[in-house]
C-alpha cells in the first residue's frame, strides 16, 4: 500500500499531539518571578502589576497580579496545582511540513521527518529562554498493520 505525505500528516494530527499548547507557571507570591515579569516588560505593557514594597516574610499576598489584558493567556489550574501558581499559555506548537518520507515495503515500515512551528506566541513567552521562531524537526516511524498505516 502506497503512503503519501498527506496521509502521514493526517496520521500525525490524529495522534492528538498537535496542536500542543506550551505553558509556563508563574508563582505570583514569589518576588523573583515578579522581577522576571518586570524584566520581560510585562508590567510596562500592562499584563501584570508587581508589588515592590513588600515586607520580608510576607507571603500571604500576591506579588504579581494579572490585569484584564492578560486574561486571554491565563489557563485553568491543573488538579493538585498550588494555589499560588498561575499557569499561562506561551505558544501553540502546530504541524509544519513533511520534509522526508522513506517507505520500506519489505519491512512494511516507513520513516518520516517532519517539522513543527510555533504560533500564537504570547507576551509571557519572554519568561522562558526558548526560541519560538525556529522550526523543530521530528522523526516518526510508521508501520503497515493489516493494510493500514499507523504511527509506532
pLDDT digits (tens, 9 = 90+) for 2-30: 788 888 998 898 888 889 999 999 999 88
How far is the CA of 111 from the CAs of 7, 108, 131, 138, 150, in angstroms?
13, 11, 27, 11, 11
Block residue for cell numbers 503519501: 4
Residues 134 and 131: their CA atoms lie apart, in Å, by 6
* Nearest partner of 110 among 87, 74, 140, 134, judged by Cα: 140
Residues 91 and 98: their CA atoms lie apart, in Å, by 21
Cell numbers for 104: 520500506
Average pLDDT over residues 31-54: 92
Average pLDDT over residues 84-111: 92
Average pLDDT over residues 84-100: 94
Q: pTM higher than 0.85, yes or no? A: no
pLDDT at 56 over 70: no
Cα Rg of the chain, angstroms: 21
Pick the residue with more confidence: 79 or 1?
A: 79
Cis peptide before 81 (omega within 30 of 0): no
**What pLDDT is recorded for position 58?**
62
Contact 64, 84 (CB under 8 A): no
**What pLDDT is recorded for position 81?**
67
Q: In the chain, how many domains are there? A: 1
At residue 96 the predicted structure's pLDDT band, cuts being 50, 70 and 90, is very high
At residue 55 the predicted structure's pLDDT band, cuts being 50, 70 and 90, is low
- Percent of the chain, pLDDT > 90? 58
Task: Give the structural domain span for 79.
Answer: 5-151
Amino acid at each position: 500500500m502506497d503512503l503519501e505525505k498527506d496521509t502521514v500528516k493526517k496520521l500525525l494530527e490524529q495522534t492528538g499531539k498537535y496542536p500542543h499548547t506550551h505553558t509556563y507557571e508563574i508563582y505570583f507570591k514569589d518576588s523573583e518571578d515578579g522581577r522576571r515579569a518586570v524584566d520581560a516588560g510585562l508590567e510596562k505593557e500592562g499584563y501584570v502589576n508587581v508589588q515592590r514594597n513588600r515586607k520580608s516574610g510576607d507571603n500571604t499576598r500576591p506579588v504579581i497580579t494579572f490585569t484584564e489584558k492578560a486574561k486571554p493567556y491565563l489557563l485553568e489550574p491543573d488538579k493538585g496545582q498550588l494555589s499560588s501558581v498561575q499557569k499561562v499559555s506561551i505558544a501553540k506548537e502546530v504541524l509544519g511540513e513533511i520534509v522526508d518520507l522513506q517507505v520500506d515495503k519489505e519491512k512494511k515500515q516507513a520513516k518520516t521527518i517532519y517539522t513543527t512551528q510555533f504560533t500564537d506566541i504570547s507576551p509571557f513567552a519572554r519568561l522562558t529562554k526558548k526560541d519560538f521562531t525556529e522550526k523543530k524537526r521530528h522523526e516518526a516511524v510508521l508501520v503497515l498493520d493489516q493494510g493500514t498505516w499507523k504511527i509506532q
